[in-house]
């Protein structure tokens, strides 16, 4: 089973081991190899902020010249770009979630049965079924395999992309609302209108020959056999203003509690580090998404790790809230501790952010303020994410080059 670090200690160790191999990353990253040692496997650690992108970038630029690791830095920054893009277009996430519910209710039985068979690795195309089984068994897939399987689902099986994205969201241990939703839209030709990604057998032969030991059904993905589906609609993606969040926690003698969630589990590093909470709580907010047992287990592990580190850093009581109604659980916890204010990292678009419109009025009605803080580096990256990735990277790359020059001078 692929080892996915789910504690900060393990993530730091895995990053330390991978850092010396970055010189080979650009040439090997697309190869889908057993155990995936050619990629970092840090996606879950970065998704839950057991490890910060800032830490990875800083370590990289201290050890390498920018031009030698630009592809690696691009891959690290894709996650923030996707998040920033979706922050300006939250309806894309809401429309996807609503569409999944509608499709599960309204799809013809014969189509839904095919959805279930393909998702279970029973499509009859051996290489694609091997990818599906790896997803189910390990909760992880190499990015190239994710693209192949998404393309197979959309353009070969002709199944709704929204339900394919739901399969990934439920099973992937690193499932990120922005990266997952927008990557599936890209494969479908919706993210960049008219530009689809088509799976090809020759591409799999080049990068994952092990997958083609069994050629059953492979004629369905032969070069030239896959034709793109035609997108029937294109969601409005005009950007709106980014939410206005605080950058720092104001010093106060008020009774403050810290709310931790799966969007950022590293309060001891950054703007919350000097907070003096009287209590800390963490909550699982994605319980309504029918997550796999393996995914729920990963969430339990990262939340437990975050709470343990918070207890050691802030030296105050910590508790894992009830996930049946996280908003009510947080409000009850705040009332028990007679809090004046609850502070938290600002969630990005997804299940945690969806909780805030219910949580805030509950706290307000109890006379408790909710303060959401955004890391400065996130705020900077998000402001650059209004258009495509390459305009984003032109500005972000220049920013990181400057950062690398400063590190070199030191």
DSSP-derived secondary structure letter, 142: -
- What SS3 class is residue 264? strand
DSSP 42-59: -HHHHHTTSS-HHHHHHH
Condensed to tens digits (0 to 9), the pLDDT of residues 234-260 reads 555 688 999 989 877 876 788 999 999
- Residue 312: in which H helix or E strand, if any? helix 293-314
Query: Could you tell me how many helices (H) and strands (E) the chain has, helices first?
Result: 17, 5
Q: What is the pLDDT of residue 283?
A: 86
Tokens of 10: 């393990």
Per-residue DSSP letter, 223 = T
DSSP state letters, 291-310: --HHHHHHHHHHHHHHHHHH
Name 370's Cβ contacts closer than 8 Å, sequence gap at least 6: 341, 342, 344, 356, 359, 360, 363, 364
Q: Do 256 and 342 contact (CB within 8 A), yes or no? A: yes
pLDDT of residue 249: 80
- Quick check: 396 and 382 in contact, CB under 8 A? no
Check if the beta carbon of residue 278 is closer than 8 Å to that of residue 339: yes
* Residue 278: count of CB within 10 angstroms of its CB: 16
Q: Residue 108 and residue 131: Cα distance in Å, rounded?
A: 26
How many CB atoms neighbour CB 309 within 10 A?
21
Give the phi and the psi of residue 364 in degrees, each rounded to 5.
Answer: -60, -40
Please choose, from the candidates 278, 295, 281, 274, the residue with its C-alpha nearest in 3D space to the C-alpha of residue 327.
Answer: 281
Residue pair 314/275 in contact by the 8 Å Cβ criterion: yes
Which positions ≥6 away from 98 have C-beta within 8 Å? none
Q: What is the 3-state secondary structure (H, E, C) of 65-86?
A: CHHHCHHHHHHHHHHHHHHHHH
Q: What is the pLDDT of residue 405?
A: 59
Note the pLDDT of residue 410: 47
Reported as a single tens digit per residue, the pLDDT across 16-40 is 999 999 999 999 999 999 889 999 9
Question: What is the model's pTM?
Answer: 0.95
Tell me, what's the pLDDT at 323?
Answer: 74
Q: Say what the pLDDT of residue 78 is.
A: 96
Report CA torsion sign: 253, 284, 173, 192.
Answer: negative
Which residues of the chain carry a pLDDT beneath 70? 1-2, 231-237, 251, 287, 404-410
Question: Which residues, 6 or more positions from 122, have their beta carbon under 8 angstroms from its beta carbon?
Answer: 129
Hunting for tokens 């690791």 — which residue is that? 69
Instruction: Please report the beta strands in 245-394, taking only residues with DSSP state E, as ranges in sequence order.
Output: 256-260, 279-282, 318-320, 341-345, 369-373
- The pLDDT value recorded for residue 407 is 54
């Amino acid at each position: 089973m692929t080892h996915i670090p789910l504690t900060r200690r393990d993530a730091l160790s895995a990053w330390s081991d991978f850092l010396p191999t970055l010189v080979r990353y650009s040439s090997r990253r697309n190869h889908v190899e057993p155990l995936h040692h050619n990629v970092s496997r840090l996606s879950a650690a970065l998704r839950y902020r057991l490890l910060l992108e800032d830490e990875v970038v800083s370590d990289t630029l201290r050890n390498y010249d920018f031009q030698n690791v630009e592809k690696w830095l691009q891959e690290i920054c894709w996650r923030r770009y996707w998040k920033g893009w979706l922050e300006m277009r939250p309806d894309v996430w809401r429309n996807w979630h609503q569409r999944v519910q509608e499709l599960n209710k309204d799809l013809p039985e014969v189509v839904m049965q095919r959805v279930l068979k393909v998702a279970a690795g029973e499509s009859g195309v051996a290489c694609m079924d091997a990818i599906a089984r790896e997803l189910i068994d390990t909760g992880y897939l190499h990015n190239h395999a994710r693209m192949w399987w998404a393309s197979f689902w959309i353009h070969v099986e002709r199944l709704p992309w929204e339900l394919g994205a739901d399969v990934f969201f439920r099973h992937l241990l690193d499932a990120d609302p922005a990266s997952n939703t927008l990557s599936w839209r890209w494969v479908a030709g919706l993210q960049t209108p008219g530009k689809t990604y088509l799976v090809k057998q020759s591409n799999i032969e080049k990068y994952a020959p092990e997958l083609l030991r069994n050629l059953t059904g492979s004629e369905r993905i032969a070069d030239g056999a896959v034709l793109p589906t035609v997108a029937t609609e294109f969601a409005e993606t005009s950007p709106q203003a980014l939410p206005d969040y605080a950058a720092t926690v104001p010093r106060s003698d008020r009774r403050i509690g810290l709310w931790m969630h799966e969007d950022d589990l590293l309060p001891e590093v950054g703007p919350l580090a000097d907070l003096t909470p009287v209590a800390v709580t963490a909550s699982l907010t994605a319980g309504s998404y029918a997550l796999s047992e393996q995914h729920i287990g990963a969430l339990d592990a990262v939340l437990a790790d975050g709470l343990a580190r918070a207890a050691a850093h802030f030296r105050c009581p910590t508790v894992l809230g009830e996930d049946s109604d996280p908003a009510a659980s947080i409000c009850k916890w705040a009332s028990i501790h007679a809090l004046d204010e609850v502070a938290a990292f600002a969630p990005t678009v997804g299940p945690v952010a969806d909780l805030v419109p219910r949580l805030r009025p509950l706290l307000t009605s109890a006379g408790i303020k909710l303060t959401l803080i955004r890391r400065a580096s996130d705020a900077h990256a998000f402001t650059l994410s209004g258009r495509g990735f390459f305009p984003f990277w032109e500005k972000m790359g220049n920013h990181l080059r400057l950062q690398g020059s400063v590190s070199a001078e030191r």
